[in-house]
Amino acid sequence: MKFYNTLTRKKEEFIPLKKDEVSMYVCGPTVYNLIHIGNARPMIVFDTARRYMEYKGYKVKYVSNFTDVDDKIIAKAMEEGVTAEEISQRYIAECKKDMSAMNVRPATVHPLATQEIPGMIRMIQTLIDKGYAYDVHGTVYFRTRKFDGYGKLSHKNLDDLRSGNRSLQVTGEDQKEDPLDFVLWKPKKEGEPAWNSPWGDGRPGWHIECSEMSKKYLGDEIDIHAGGEDLIFPHHENEIAQSECCNGKPFARYWLHNAFLNIDNRKMSKSLGNFFTVRDISEKYDLQVLRFFMLSAHYRSPLNFSDQIMDASKNAYERIVRAADHCKDIIGTARTEKLTEEERQRIHDMGQYRDKFESCMDDDINTADAVSAIFELVKFANTEVHEKSSKAFAEAVKQEIVSLCDILGLIADRKEETLDSDIENLIAQRQEARKTKDFAMADEIRDQLTKMGIVLEDTREGVKWKKI
């Protein structure tokens, strides 16, 4: 299995620090509002990477934080006249709902920044003791130039940053030793949450939060650090500087970053009116469709969101589900139980699709090509599974579809929905009308159900239904 490592700018064979174990940290959202579809991409992409590594036999310790203290959270709290904690807890709960709806599995640990302040203070003190940080009137800064490796992830040169791109520099140049030094601890402002520290009441800088949470839950050196490419500089660059200077070890061996998500070929922003939350999308599409859309391109490729592309994703995802349903129908009506010799050979042939799937996923989690392998399997299912197939053959093909989709977090085997009591009553009334040979009434009820979006199919096993 190979990953493209942002640090080295090349694909590298994945070799974990500990045999058969993976330590992975993924930067999570700042919780001041509902998550947007830009947040959803790294959640889905790296959840899929985790699923595949577990499929390969690794035990993955997956840590993804919630940033629950931040200027935006404080601003939202002041706007609503509530505490910052109330805002963050509200939107953590909402975020978890959206993650569940996208079939993103909970992390092994979801640390909250506010619960890890003591560790951050200890880390900052270590950096001060080692000469990598300094206190100016209650604000603690990191000495960027003292770390020789600064810029190795983003491949930026410190001198170029200072002379040619002052927008990348940190504010407060008047009291810093160097304009590029960044904040580790900031003093309290009126009305803001604060914690006691050796440098006065205040709160941590954003970058130190992830360094400490990664250190506490995964150790001084980890296998994989991941997030959106917008975090490469300065956030991940600063994490490396803090962590390596404090711990005296390389921070992360493999750095994975997903590319941006655009809306109708433009950057998503509220000012352009093209800003969508995951909850917005759920009102129009099953969030399995959003997940399918996110995996339909390689994670390092820019991805464009539009209604047309989402509609195409919906149709494509439905093709997979219909193939699984087709197999279920044959399982229910199969005349024979056991495999024939010919079917055994076809199952052996079917193995080529899993081989292709694994080959694609081994190549830097290439979900786009892995999905194409699933569609080859779907074509196989629609062609090879028919009314003469054995139950065992139909079950084997269905299970293969479900299994490969599950690795991607896609649900191919949708459980039957529970009908509303009104619809259940109508179906029961129709069945009673058929028993009493009142076919006119039975047809009238069928038409009524059709208008309600329910299609019935009378089979030997009873009435089957589906929504349209």
Strand 2-5 to strand 10-13: parallel, antiparallel, or no bridges (unpaired)?
A: antiparallel
Position 187 pLDDT exceeds 70 = yes
The 3-state DSSP composition of the chain as helix, strand, coil percent (nearest 5) reads 50, 15, 30
Residue 236 confidence class, pLDDT cut points 50, 70, 90: very high
- Tokens representing 107 are 């992390």
Report field, pTM of the whole predicted structure over 0.85: yes
Q: Report how far residue 302's alpha carbon sits from residue 289's, in angstroms, rounded to the nearest whole number.
A: 18
The mean pLDDT of 121-126, rounded to a whole number, is 98
Q: How far is CA 216 from the centre of its chain?
A: 23
**How confident is the prediction for the chain on average, in pLDDT?**
92
Question: Residue 164: its pLDDT value, please?
Answer: 46
Contacts of 459 (CB under 8 A, 6+ apart): 332, 333
Among candidate residues 108, 32, 20, the one with its CA nearest the CA of residue 68? 32
What are the backbone dihedrals phi and psi of residue 258, each rounded to the nearest 5 degrees, phi first?
A: -85, 150
pLDDT tens-digit series, residues 349-398: 999 999 999 999 999 999 999 999 999 999 999 999 999 999 999 999 99
- Residue 30 DSSP class: B
Q: Which residues pair with 187 in a beta bridge?
A: 202
Question: What is the total residue count of the chain?
Answer: 468
pLDDT tens-digit series, residues 126-148: 999 999 999 999 999 999 999 99
State the distance between the two ends of the chain, measured CA to CA, in whole angstroms.
41
Q: Which amino acid is at 365?
A: I
Q: Report how far residue 30's alpha carbon sits from residue 44's, in angstroms, rounded to the nearest whole number.
A: 17
Is the bond preceding residue 234 a cis peptide, omega within 30 degrees?
Answer: yes
